[in-house]
Structure 1
Amino acid sequence: MPGAFALVQASQGGKAPDLPRATGVSASAPLAALFEKYWDEQASLFPFAATAQGDSRYNDQLPNDQTRAFRQQQQRFYQQYLTSLQKFDRAKLSAEDQVSYDVFRYQLETSLEGQQLKLQRWLMPFGQTGGLPQAMAQFGSGMAAQPFKTAKDYDNWLSRVHGFTAWTDSAIANFRQGMASGVVLPKALVVKMIPQLEAMIVSDPAKSLFYGPTTKLPATLPAADKTRLTNAYQQAILTELVPAFQKLSSFLKNEYLPKARTTSGFGDLPNGPEAYRYAVKYSTTTAKTPEEIYQTGLSEVKRLRTELEAVKKQVGFQGDLPAFFAYMKNEPKFRPYKTPQEVLDGFEAIHQRMAPNLKKMFGRTPKTPFEVRQTEAYRAASASAQYMAGSPDGSRAGVFYVPILDATQYNVTSLPPMEDMFLHEAIPGHHYQISLQNENTALPKFRRFGGYSAFSEGWALYCESLGKELGLYTDPYQYAGSLGGEIHRAIRLVVDVGLHAKGMTREEAIKYMMDNEVISEQLATAEVERYMSNPGQALSYKIGQLKILEWRARYEKQLGKKFDLRAFHDELLAGGAMPLAVAERRMDAWAARQK
């Protein structure tokens, strides 16, 4: 989730981790069958996700998820499987089946709880950071998960396009229903959505992002197929895609924007406080209250500012912390690049510096290849750095997308600092965690391809703390950048809760960020607007990281000389992402086995 560089291939050797185990009890065949049936059915409900996971059965489908019938179908689906799961006696299952049982139950119950909320999120069908219009652009560009290798692949995408017109009409109807009930997006977000949609409106189909796949038609295709598909793509762009994006952009500009709200957070919406509490629970997989998380954020910001003061003193900078931030942000030596490719090459240099130390910390590494790409121009202005998983069979690389608006202004120490960002988004962060999970065929598919932000983002943020052990952060300014990256996640606890539960405005949130970290106003704005659009998600990073650090400290103390950091990392990644409480029980059992 494009200049590419080095591929990370096979394992770097060492002791393999403990994989999911049955601890002497046979795995439950009926439970495994239930999981398999669930996975098959949910793939048809969510075919875009199936495509992203390498399941090609539904590559031609685009269900209209904006209808009441679809929402009712979802609810029946989750309830049916929860009822079936509850017929199993958990106590009689193997240890790893108990983990799967717990993850599955949590997933189903949390999904059902979300559908019972009085604040219906479907009244705001998409935002500036995500939704079907953005997914259509990514998948249809030929640069993402949608395959374009055979004539059938090309026809599959055309079938998906045919469903986008109906989706557009339903989304507009839901936006209008939200306008009538006072459930609308903030104006600050809507003004960012309109240009994204307008970028898809062209009069020449060859200038459309969706025309990309036709410029790369496989040489093995017969000439008649090439002509047919080229004509069909031109027709689909001009008669289906462009009109749909035009309709959405005109509606937002002329009808919705005047009715959009001037407030920033969920707390200002009808039943918003309840919806935000659920968002906090969903994103953190904990029972922590918004106020608890806010106080944790304040405490972490204070701690990290103290550490930044120490680095400032180490480099002999005269001036206060805001002046130090300004120096790191504005000093020309921290902007060494002239072209986007030089930025991408800079990430490869980071990879090469730490590569020798990875084998000391990981016994198992992914087979899935990896690359870094520049974020596409149409979405770069409002995008953050992002990882998109590769395919489980390794045929499609995992991709780390880097927004580069102006390479000459790309700051290596300012947020996001380069070494820090590579550890998080690439190696050993998201690429290791997600790829190892997807490659682990011992897991049921809902665990192989499922995800919990508190675990995966917590892991990625934890990986930032491994920089010195991996041979990075030797430059004090890069280490200051790392501390800045961590304080950024601590600030999120303050700002996300502040926006949605404590009346903080967009402008106040931007100022708080700029006062407490090295960040440009443009990036602070994009970050705050991301939190406005996706309440609670930004909390998952710091909450998950703190929990993983807690586990590591606990097991180091419990096991003493028996503690093996590589084994700890391998075991943590072997089970895949899961709710933090379930992961904790699993890791406690691992520590007990080490004794």
Structure 2
Amino acid sequence: MKKLFIFAAILLASISCKQEPKENAKLSDLFDRYYEEKLSFFPLEATSQGDNRFNDQLPIDISTDFRNKISGFYSKYLGELDEIDPKTLSEEEQVYYNTLRFELNSQLEGLTFPTNLIPFNQFWGLPLTIAQLGSGASSQPFKTTKDYEDWLVRIDKFTVWADTAIANFNAGIKQQYVLPTSLIKKMIPQMNDLANTSVEKSLFYGPINNFPADMDSLTKVTLTEKYKSAITEKIIPTYKKLGSYLSNVYLKAGRASSGVGMLPKGPSFYAYSAYSWTTTTKKPDEIMQLGFGEVSRIKKEMEKVKEQVGFKGTLEEFFTSLKNDPKLMPYKEPEEILEAFRQIQKKIDPNLSKMFNLTPKTKFEIRRTEAFREASASAEYMQGSADGSRPGIFYIPIPDAKTFNVTSGMESLFLHEAIPGHHYQISLQQENQKLPKFMRFGGYGAYAEGWALYCESLGKELGLYTDPFQYMGALGDEMHRAIRLVVDVGIHAKGWTREEALKYMMENEAISEQGATAEIERYMALPGQALSYKIGAIKIRELRNRYTKQMGDKFNLAEFHDQILKNGCLPLSVLEETMDIWAGTKGTVQ
């Protein structure tokens, strides 16, 4: 694995200079060109950012030709970075420089593994993304005639992508680079559900059911015929082809092992995945031991809560009682639950000003999840637009208000998904026009999810967690992330079976077998992704503890949070360098 690029000494040298370096025009131009060219390679990212220039584009990103071209793209910009002397850069520019260098090296290393031979799985991949976009309820716009025509072009290219996917799956079979059988079984009904439908009931008919009010009748008729034809002749046959292939060919070739460790280059791939997702050099063994320690610590906290409320019985029995106690399900109407979340916001407002100087301009709203997706949705944050025209929205699904349990972690959920978690971090990043666009609209899970999980730990300081049942919910959320450190490494590096991972999860948290199965199979499909949350939160807490000790009375929590959020989503390695330098300017780093 390539080494992380550490430039702390260079940064300290630049800070010690009396005169700040002038803006490096060459570097600024490099950032701009990199962002623009990257969007042409990844047009779906442009669409998600509201950039409509590439809405008809869909590259065959799993093809050898594409991978060669994108490798050349990353190498070209890495070469250009090498031509710039970091000593000539300002402190902020060096942060941007280091972030792009990390990104380029990480992406190039990822291309050394044949991940395109598993082009999609049950959790994510283009067949699922295309369905979301084509429904008209996602980022693909359907406001103008051109929008509708763009989507038809994209569908033409999706049929080619699907044929390439089947060819890649076949190549993977020959190289014994395949998915676990249990995951393939979950993919088949997904494809069949999208294929076995009438045209008018197809998810892809959504845009036709929701024409813009100002579109003329003749255009509507013309587009309706085109969409019916596309669904009948292209979309449904493509999903049928994928479903048939998975059922009749690929399922027979599925592997019995659960983790990637048994694949060709498997151990190296998992080590890379852990590095890529955590943006640190922590080894899988170290991460697993960290997880065991966190599970033990959190379980002791749960035992304290059990004793505090006077429950007689085991922790497992306490979990069961929490899920079934009618006193913990006090709501009758959805509006009561929304109001309870609004009260959480009001409760923390007075303390937020003590802990944050930087706050976003983007407005914030709490809404109930729409009815059409409420039954299967999780609570989530949908970011606002960079120009402030669309607010950040905290969505809460409430399919049945009478079964909504307060121990679901309402307070910790609000801190994570809303304020000061994702809303503060994402909004401040998007609003910061000083950042290069690749950073304003990019990010790393270890930082973003780590920040949100760290924010859950601020509950008591913000005036929350005074109710032991709400605190128990927060501990349950934290336990879930700690368990991930154990089972992800167990599955992919220690040879754990799916069943062994399920057993460990269900022994250590209050979760149904159905819920645990979905979680474990997610980790099987996305090696390393589940590590990012807890690793990021631990790093931010570690930095806070370090500077509190070093700075003593000089430590200011609001300033610390401002610095964490200042540069947006960073690799944790770059964040730590930057934060150490911030503390060093105060004469505290030893």
TM-score by length of 2: 0.91
Paired residues of 2:322 and 2:407 also in contact (CA < 8 A):
yes
1-structure distance, mates of 2:388, 2:569: 20
- Residue of structure 2 in register with 1:16 after alignment: none
Moved more, 237-246 or 38-47: 237-246
Match 1:542 to one of 530, 534, 549: 534
Moved more, 444-453 or 362-371: 362-371
Paired residues of 1:102 and 1:582 also in contact (CA < 8 A):
yes
Deviation for aligned residue 1:23? 7.2
- Residue of structure 1 in register with 2:30 after alignment: 34
Paired residues of 1:23 and 1:95 also in contact (CA < 8 A):
no
- Residue of structure 1 in register with 2:503 after alignment: 511
1-structure distance, mates of 2:398, 2:313: 30
2-structure distance, mates of 1:246, 1:302: 47
2-structure distance, mates of 1:166, 1:399: 36
What letter matches 2:138 in structure 1?
Answer: A
Paired residues of 1:372 and 1:399 also in contact (CA < 8 A):
yes
Alignment of 1:167-566 (within 5 A): 167-336=161-330, 347-370=341-364, 371-372=366-367, 374=369, 385-400=379-394, 409-414=403-408, 417-566=409-558
Moved more, 561-570 or 61-70: 561-570
Change (3 A) 1:63 1:402: farther
Q: Which whole-Å deviations, capped at 9, do the CAs of 1:30-57 have from their partners, x for residues lacking one?
A: 0000110011000010001111122221
Q: Which whole-Å deviations, capped at 9, do the CAs of 1:381-420 have from their partners, x for residues lacking one?
A: 5x76544433322344445565667665544324xx2222
3-state SS of paired residue (1:487): helix
* Corresponding position: 1:80 with 2:76: yes
Match 2:91 to one of 92, 95, 98: 95
1-structure distance, mates of 2:112, 2:374: 33
Q: Percent identity?
A: 55
Paired residues of 2:63 and 2:116 also in contact (CA < 8 A):
no
Paired residues of 2:374 and 2:399 also in contact (CA < 8 A):
no
What letter matches 1:152 in structure 2?
Answer: K
- Residue of structure 1 in register with 2:153 after alignment: 159
Match 2:64 to one of 68, 79, 84: 68
Change (3 A) 1:499 1:343: farther
- Residue of structure 2 in register with 1:107 after alignment: 103
3-state SS of paired residue (1:207): coil
Change (3 A) 1:476 1:49: same
Q: Which has the higher relative contact order, 1 or 2, with Cα contacts under 8 A spaced 6 or more apart?
A: 1
- Residue of structure 2 in register with 1:567 after alignment: 559
2-structure distance, mates of 1:352, 1:159: 48
Deviation for aligned residue 1:376? 8.2
3-state SS of paired residue (2:486): helix
Q: Which whole-Å deviations, capped at 9, do the CAs of 1:307-345 have from their partners, x for residues lacking one?
A: 111111111111121121222223233344567776656
Moved more, 251-260 or 98-107: 251-260
1-structure distance, mates of 2:430, 2:253: 43
Moved more, 70-79 or 228-237: 228-237
3-state SS of paired residue (1:576): coil
1-structure distance, mates of 2:375, 2:164: 28
Q: Which whole-Å deviations, capped at 9, do the CAs of 1:149-184 have from their partners, x for residues lacking one?
A: 222222222221221111111111111111222111
TM-score by length of 1: 0.90
1-structure distance, mates of 2:439, 2:200: 41
2-structure distance, mates of 1:266, 1:380: 32
Paired residues of 1:124 and 1:175 also in contact (CA < 8 A):
yes
Change (3 A) 1:292 1:149: same
1-structure distance, mates of 2:344, 2:239: 40
* Corresponding position: 1:46 with 2:42: yes
Deviation for aligned residue 1:301? 0.9
* Corresponding position: 1:579 with 2:571: yes
Paired residues of 1:373 and 1:399 also in contact (CA < 8 A):
no
Change (3 A) 1:244 1:373: farther
2-structure distance, mates of 1:218, 1:126: 33
Paired residues of 2:368 and 2:398 also in contact (CA < 8 A):
no
Deviation for aligned residue 1:95? 0.7
3-state SS of paired residue (2:568): coil
2-structure distance, mates of 1:510, 1:386: 25
Change (3 A) 1:51 1:418: same
2-structure distance, mates of 1:477, 1:134: 37
Moved more, 470-479 or 222-231: 222-231
1-structure distance, mates of 2:326, 2:554: 48
Paired residues of 1:337 and 1:407 also in contact (CA < 8 A):
yes
Which sections of structure 2, spanning at least 5 residues, go unmatched? 1-17
Paired residues of 1:375 and 1:404 also in contact (CA < 8 A):
no
Which sections of structure 1, spanning at least 5 residues, go unmatched? 1-21
Moved more, 129-138 or 291-300: 129-138
State the aligned residue count. 569
Please tell me the root mean square deviation across aligned C-alpha atoms, in Å. 2.4
Change (3 A) 1:427 1:236: farther
Deviation for aligned residue 1:589? 2.4
Deviation for aligned residue 1:439? 1.9
Change (3 A) 1:369 1:527: farther
Change (3 A) 1:62 1:252: same
